[in-house]
Chain A
């Protein structure tokens, strides 16, 4: 009987069974950032332990980086302290650190693939839930807590629980102006934010096979918003084309060998799954959220559901979400005024995202009164965007072009919403207070849709604003 990629990778990395029945799983690649690692290094020190295999750990700084002025010391001493702690910890333990100004710094889930650290068939862990992003390469990648960061530093292993696998097929061709972000919001809308509990999501089907790597990363990135700790796509020629020539990817004879090894991890044609669901690409429209979790979403031309249209157990939650958002049941989402537009985050701050937006934004202006920010995902992306003239398109349109980091997505740096401002955002979470103001409101959408909202001054259909598909 055939096996899925998940099963093959798991079996190749299971060191042994623990007394309680969990598995000790070897982690090929460990990624660190400044927020969830200092306590782990502290625990390591308390236990008198060292980092066992420092060549398998890489670090960068992303969450607390000011995007406007990165002159050190930062204005926020706590942020500066976190950066310095990471510098000190990586230096003391011999861990590679992509520091500010190195040309390699950026959001950890953007830097991994960009440097070629992320490779098929790997197990990858990081103290950040969006580690699922790396699954786009056919890796089993997942977020861990700080105590587990300590475990990986000390042993390169984790006590882990095997998941079930749900195959999610997306078939057909996406319409003009419809992106991977819309696909994942559509999936979460239908399977629910708890739908993935206990599952790894394997994405496939003709739509996913046709996606470039950056789109696949967006898809896998938000698996966690669907409740699935892991999401992945089987490696193929698209994966290899992306990886070839990147700094940490094998070269020459080793490259050919690596490709053979990677292909062997692909799910067998007769692999069995614990569940299979299929979506049609033609049924997916540009999708936006109306509530306070990523499953509370609708097509841009739809209206917010009436409470009685929702399953009974979701009504109280929807009522509470609408009260927070200042929206009404049955109201169209299109036309709701915005105060802030944010393009960035590990979901959608890649070069392809910025290129795609620039293509349409050129010649348009951000509506007066809208604060529009674009925060590239890494120093490398920022540089490329300058070279290609993309940064200039954003500036001319009235966007603030910022330095790379996580920025407003969770607002651990100075970028944040004020009061009850409403933001059109390309990030991944619309939770209450997520963007730094306890009353701030977030509407999730694709980067092109954020640009359309910035231009219109309200939530808008990018296909209309930019004449996409005509």
Chain B
């Protein structure tokens, strides 16, 4: 979808969050200078197009107790990766799943799946499930735990 100047204003006005007032869309519409009907119509269209992934609460998973974040990486046959990636992505404990390039010889992994758990054992159990899905099509794997957050800011577009 092509976003026009008004859509872009809507994004700028909402990317830090929706206001916690009884009529939040009216509030944003006033900021942007359009009617609430137009604002809601545009936001529906932006959501339909996939530019908005979803509207809602974004929890801080550390504060919910999910302290073990394993980036599991897998060396999967290229001709099977789309089929298997889709299957791994459907597992309910995987939050992100991507095909990314290898950097041979020191980085042979091409399938990335983020797994979150409240314990290290929990991550290990989930890795075992992914291993079963990939079966003989996987030549190697490892898991990289995050030991420290060095920087975290939301993604923002400029004004």
> A and B: real partners?
no
